[in-house]
Amino acid sequence: MPEPDAAVMNRVRTLIDETGSERTQLLEVLHKVQAEFQHIPRAAAEAIEQAMNVPVADTYGVVTFYDLLTERPVGRSVLRICEDVPCCLHGSEELAREAEQRLGPEGQPSADGAVSWTRCACLGLCDRAPAALYEEKPLAPLHHQDIASIGDRRA
Ligand code: FES
């Protein structure tokens, strides 16, 4: 069930108070909001505008630039599978298809909100292709068994 806007705004104001309201702290605030709400809700962008003097459009400019920030809710744990050429050559597309079978459609959280998966650009782990991140930690090389384990933990 989505949080009411007032509750989101109050919580984001608290996160800003804890982090700092200078514009240079925007990214840190956004990471905290993402961790708590699994996305950046509109109400959060409005709270940021009020408390940090950063326009909503600027906040969403940052959100759309960084792969780790999302406008739509994702799972509490996210599997990111690299789809750039070196990882593709080592089987990442096959692993992505397996993720779709075991974890559901790309970008959509499981029914319990526990997990989602997505393709992403190079993770800087090319020497360990096919590479992935899970809960923001490297999972490289990614194996079929890793995906099966993530699916089992969700069930
Ligand atoms: S191409 Fe996949 S980690 Fe660099």
Tell me the per-residue pLDDT of 3-18, one tens digit each, with 9 for 90 and over: 679 999 999 999 999 9
- Specify the CATH architecture of the domain 77-154: 3-Layer(aba) Sandwich (3.40)
Amino acid identity at 136: E
CA-derived radius of gyration, the chain: 17
Instruction: Please tell me the distance between residue 74's alpha carbon and the centre of ligand 1 in angstroms.
Output: 22
Q: How confident is the model at residue 68 (pLDDT cuts 50, 70, 90)?
A: confident
Q: What is the mean pLDDT of residues 79-92?
A: 97
DSSP annotation string for 54-113: --HHHHHHHHHH-TT--SS---SEEEEEE-SHHHHHTTHHHHHHHHHHHH-STT---TTS
Instruction: Please tell me the distance between residue 75's alpha carbon and the centre of ligand 1 in angstroms.
Output: 23
pTM: 0.82
Q: Is residue 113 scored above 60 in pLDDT?
A: yes
Q: Among 1-10, 14-23, 127-136, 141-150, whose mean pLDDT is lowest?
A: 1-10
Q: Which of 110, 25, 38 is nearest to 71 (CA)?
A: 38
Q: Is residue 135 scored above 60 in pLDDT?
A: yes
Q: What is the mean pLDDT of residues 19-34?
A: 97
The pLDDT value given to residue 36: 94
Buried-exposed string 66-99: b where 16+ CB fall within 10 A, e elsewhere: eebbbeebbbebbbbbbbbebbeebbbeebbebb
What the block records as the tokens of 107 is: 């970008």
Which of the listed residues 81, 126, 142 should we mutate to test ligand 1's pocket, taking the one with most ligand atoms within 8 A of CB?
A: 126
Write down the residue that tokens 């070196």 correspond to: 86
- Quote the mean pLDDT of the chain: 94
Instruction: Please tell me the distance between residue 52's alpha carbon and the centre of ligand 1 in angstroms.
Output: 35
